[in-house]
Every structure is written in C-alpha cells, then in structure tokens.
Amino acid sequence: MGRTVCQAVEAAPDLQLGAQIDVGDDVNAVAGADVAVVFSVPDVVLEHTLACIRHGVHTVVGTTGWDAAKLDAVRQALAEAPAGVGVLVAPNFALGAVLLMKFAAMAAPHFESVEVIELHHPDKVDAPAAPPGTPRSGSLRPARRPAAADPGRHHDEPGRCPRGRGRRDPGARGTAARADRPRGGRARRSGEQLTLRHDSFDRASFMSGVLLGVRQVASRPGLTVGLDTFL
Ligand SMILES: NC(=O)c1ccc[n+]([C@@H]2O[C@H](COP(=O)([O-])OP(=O)(O)OC[C@H]3O[C@@H](n4cnc5c(N)ncnc54)[C@H](O)[C@@H]3O)[C@@H](O)[C@H]2O)c1
C-alpha cells in the first residue's frame, strides 16, 4: 500500500512526495511534511501515528488493527499537540466500500436479517478468522451497522462458503463469512432480498480515497474515524 500511495502522490499534480519511511528508517523523518500517510503494520501503527502528531503533521492512516484504547491514545496526543492537527483513521479507503456501508445503513432498519460475506485473496494477513466484531480487518466494518439494527444475532457461519476461512475450517483459504441468514423462513415471508456488493480488484482501488483524505485532513482538526464524513 505504501508503495502504491507514493506512486499516486507522484502522479497527482497538486501533491509532492516529501519522504518515504519503511522499516528501519527513522519515523521522525516525517517532520516538516504537511501530511503523512501511514500504511505500516498494526504493531507499530499507533507509535507511527503518535510520532506524526508530535511533529504537528496531519495524518491519514490506513493500517488496520485499531481498538478503542489506541484511538483514545490518539485523542490524548491530539489534545497535547499543536492546535489544528487532523488525523483520519479509515479502515477502508475504497470509495465503493464506503458507499456500500452507507447504503447498508439505509437498508438495515427495513430488513429483519443480514448476511455479510467477505472474499479475500489467500495471503491476506488479517483475514477475519476471529469472532464477528473483532476489529482486525477493515473490511469487516460494513457488518457493524446492519448488526446494530439486530444486535446479538450475528454468528460465524464459515461453512456456508465453499472455501470458508473461519473457526470451523481454520486451514482453508481465502473466504470469510459472517452471517445471520434466515434459513428459508423470514426471507420467504418478506418475499425479497436486497444484495449490495463491492469488489476491490487492486490496491489502486484505495487511492482515490487516500488522496481525498490527504487533501482534506488538514481542514478536519482532531480525530476522524472512517472516510464517510470526508465524502
Ligand atoms: N484502509 C484501507 O483501505 C486498507 C487497504 C489495504 C490494506 N490496508 C491495511 O494496511 C496495512 C498494510 O497493508 P499492506 O498490504 O501494504 O502490507 P505490507 O505488508 O505489504 O506493507 C507493510 C509495510 O510496513 C512496513 N513496516 C513494517 N514494520 C515497520 C516499521 N516498524 N516501521 C516502518 N515500516 C514498517 C513494511 O516494511 C511494509 O513495507 C495492513 O494493516 C492492511 O490491512 C488498509
């Protein structure tokens, strides 16, 4: 992702690439930039984000693995940082996925049940084999709003996918499912099914969202979680 972001920044006429920081480099090289984009790994994402904030650099973060405690640490650092620093933490930069979440939220009050299916390439490092709601994979985020309309009803159902990856089939490749599927009953009663689908074929799919964040984050002081409020 980092390399793809660098290419996207270099291709954008209004942006200039200031520095590239990888493992082994000094993260303080970010000092002096207007905006930093963080796509390192979950273990170090908080440390990197806090370093950017300390230097007063607006920050766009795509790395997954955030929880409430880490977000609180960011809020605390922002309170102590130079006024006006903005941080955007976005679990998914694909504009289509962000829109899908919006459409799902619109639909949720009108449907009794929801099924969420994720399909991954086999090598995805944080494919969600954990219980639903575990904030490991950014792409799990769409599940939350429909779930909120029907709390406590989600359960793992990886076996429904032919190559399901989940608790019942931990060695299998590439597919994850979180389902609350009415087994014939309620769907038949309502007589309809709404399907929302988003496909991301390439890392390029995230770049318009990342650049949107880069261009807007300076005008949004404080912490923003999710790209939707930037749209
Ligand atoms: N928000 C989104 O839309 C979105 C999209 C794709 C991926 N992601 C997330 O972004 C993260 C990175 O994904 P990726 O596919 O680019 O992974 P990757 O493994 O290809 O890249 C991670 C990079 O972080 C670097 N790194 C590791 N430790 C470091 C350290 N201590 N200091 C500096 N750099 C360090 C690695 O050298 C590597 O270049 C993951 O958490 C992934 O889930 C988010």
User: Is 193 a domain residue?
Assistant: no
120 is catalytic: yes
Q: Is residue 79 part of a domain?
A: yes
Q: Which of 70, 102, 124, 198 is catalytic?
A: 124
For the CA atoms of the chain, what is the radius of gyration?
Answer: 19
Q: Are 79 and 22 contained in the same domain?
A: yes
Say which CATH number the domain at 55 has.
Answer: 3.40.50.720
Residue nearest to atom 31 of ligand 1 (CA): 23
Specify which residues 54 forms β-bridges with.
none
106 shares a domain with 33: no
The single residue listed with the structure tokens 């309309």 is: 149
Q: Which atom of ligand 1 is nearest to the CA of 2?
A: 16
Is 34 among the domain residues? Answer: yes
pLDDT tens per residue across all 231 residues of the chain = 999 999 999 999 999 999 999 999 999 999 999 999 999 999 999 999 999 999 999 999 999 999 999 999 999 999 999 889 999 999 999 999 999 999 999 999 998 888 888 777 766 666 555 444 443 444 444 444 444 333 333 333 333 333 333 333 344 344 555 555 555 555 566 788 999 999 998 999 999 999 999 999 999 999 999 999 999
Structural domain for 222, as ranges: 2-93+202-230
- The answer to whether residue 38 sits within a structural domain is yes
C-alpha to C-alpha distance for 165 and 191, rounded to whole angstroms: 30
Same structural domain for residues 67 and 54? yes
Q: Is the same domain home to 14 and 42?
A: yes
Residue 14 has φ and ψ, to the nearest 5°, of: -95, 5
Ligand 1 centroid distance, CA of 4 (Å): 11
The interaxial angle of helices 207-216 and 2-11, nearest 10 deg, is 70
Is ligand 1 within 6 A of the CB of residue 23?
yes
Q: How far apart are CA 201 and CA 78, in angstroms?
A: 35
SS3 117: strand
Task: Count the domains in the chain.
Answer: 2
Q: Is residue 65 part of a domain?
A: yes
Other CB atoms closer than 10 Å to residue 172's CB: what's the count?
Answer: 18
Sheet strands (E) in 10-105: 35-38, 58-61, 86-89
138-141 own/partner pairs: CB under 8 Å, 24+ apart: 138/62, 138/64, 138/90, 138/91, 138/92, 139/91, 139/92, 139/97, 140/116, 140/178, 141/91, 141/92, 141/101, 141/226
The catalytic position among 120, 154, 155, 198 is: 120
CB 90 less than 6 A from any atom of ligand 1: yes
- Give the CATH number of the domain where residue 131 resides: 3.30.360
Cβ–Cβ < 8 Å for 27, 49:
no
Contact 196, 103 (CB under 8 A): yes
